[in-house]
Amino acid sequence: MSYDEANMIAQRSTPLPPPNAAFGHSLRSLWTLNPAIHFLNHGSYGATPRFVQAAQLRWREELEREPVRFMGDILPDALRVAGARLARFVGASPSRLALVENATAGANAVLRSLRWNAGDRIVLANHAYPAVKNTADFLAERHGLHVVEAQVPWPLTDPAALIDAYTDAIKGGARIAIIDHVFSPLAVVTPLDAIVRLCRERGVQVLVDGAHAPGLLPLSLDMLGDMGVDWYVGNCHKWLCAPKGCGFIVATTEGQRDLHPAVISNYFGEGFEKEFAWTGTADPGARLAITAALEFIEALGVERYRSALREQARKAASVLANAWGVVPGATAEMFAAMVTLPLPVTESGSKEAVARWRLKLLKEHNIEVPIHNIGGRLWVRISAQVYNELSDYEALARVFG
């Protein structure tokens, strides 16, 4: 069965959104989410629509019909097709993009491929994603490197403060700067161009952690590459609604030299595409279903989707801010589909408090939303998605009303 045939079957049983579909709870049936839960955390792992799950399942069935023929004769081309489709979507040349399991795997590939010299400096933000921070710390310990944190203030009232934080951090020179395109706990979108320019002027290589960006922000990754982003890693399972286990790395031609997956496999040294396409036997269904995920987002209307999420996040943040008498952690323009606000409690932040509040909201109020401890205070990060309505956020507002 070809992908197109598989897709047709999937489409028949699990529809795409109708043209100009009204966003809100009426779209919830396109997902398999529990309707009893106010799901305000699309940001962490996304949620995969039925249409995309069906495509993933068809690929899995196709694999299991003739596993050997599939892996050897069908998979390489199928991955190439899926990769090229994604490359087009993110504005990258297909030869610059490789599929990886997730952003963590992509960042590890870059950082663990570099030939480090003792004393090299890695600059990253104090709010960088833990897995990426841990990778930097691990390498620092192994190779005698220095990890320098750009101190991004929080709350953040001006995007210039983010640029200043990186300016300060790279002042003493750096081998590489890691820039979060969208910060995970802060939900803030980084003014990437200015920071990349800064790095380029100082000869600092750049890895962008774009875990949240695909689908959410318009991307022109070839252009970013030309500006000085050597590597860009992204996830497809968040705002592109692909299955879990589907991310990518875009690397410039120079950035591909000496770049290897963190897992060294059969095709070591045989080129960017071949090496990343096979890192050992795995279920490729998630990566192959990226095409269905893109069809899904395109059926919603990419621009319409993006602006609806932004608008809904803004409205939802207003509902909460007004109800609780709080101010979001950054100005409205700095957020996209997620907003981080102070949780209206006096309790100070701790790992235990974060876990307890999340569970309390889920168990007692049927609300799934992440709580973060930022600078010793508790914050809540809301996500907007087309299956949400303002009533979902009003439910959260009422908990502390």
Ligand X SMILES: Cc1ncc(COP(=O)(O)O)c(C=O)c1O
Residues that bind ligand X (CB under 6 A): 44, 102-104, 129, 131-132, 180, 184, 209, 211-212, 235
Return the H-helix or E-strand segment holding 142.
helix 130-143
Q: Least Å distance between CB 373 and ligand X?
A: 16
Place of tokens 């050992």: 280
- The distance in angstroms from the start CA to the end CA of the chain is 55
**Closer residue to ligand X, CB minimum distance, 10 or 111:** 111
**Closer residue to ligand X, CB minimum distance, 14 or 108:** 108
Q: Least Å distance between CB 238 and ligand X?
A: 7
Cβ distance 301 to 295 under 8 Å?
no
Angle at 385 between CA 309 and CA 333, to 5 degrees: 30
The amino acid at residue 379 is W
**Closer residue to ligand X, CB minimum distance, 10 or 339:** 339
**Closer residue to ligand X, CB minimum distance, 131 or 397:** 131
Cβ distance 105 to 132 under 8 Å?
no
Q: Least Å distance between CB 315 and ligand X?
A: 23
On the question of a cis peptide bond just before residue 155, with omega within 30 degrees of 0, the verdict is yes
Strand, helix or coil at 48?
A: coil
**Closer residue to ligand X, CB minimum distance, 148 or 207:** 207
Q: Least Å distance between CB 53 and ligand X?
A: 18
**Closer residue to ligand X, CB minimum distance, 104 or 279:** 104
**Closer residue to ligand X, CB minimum distance, 244 or 365:** 244
Torsion of CA 309, 315, 320, 325, to 10 degrees: 140
Q: Least Å distance between CB 245 and ligand X?
A: 9
Q: Least Å distance between CB 342 and ligand X?
A: 20
Cβ distance 249 to 214 under 8 Å?
no
CA atoms within 13 A on the CB side of 183: 28
Question: Rounded to 5 degrees, what are φ and ψ at 23?
Answer: -85, 150
Q: Least Å distance between CB 119 and ligand X?
A: 27
Q: Least Å distance between CB 241 and ligand X?
A: 14
**Closer residue to ligand X, CB minimum distance, 58 or 212:** 212
What's the rounded Cα separation, in Å, for the pair 128 and 261? 21
Structure tokens belonging to residue 263: 């897992």
Place of tokens 């210039």: 160
Place of tokens 């960042």: 107
- How do 38-39 and 97-100 pair as beta strands? unpaired
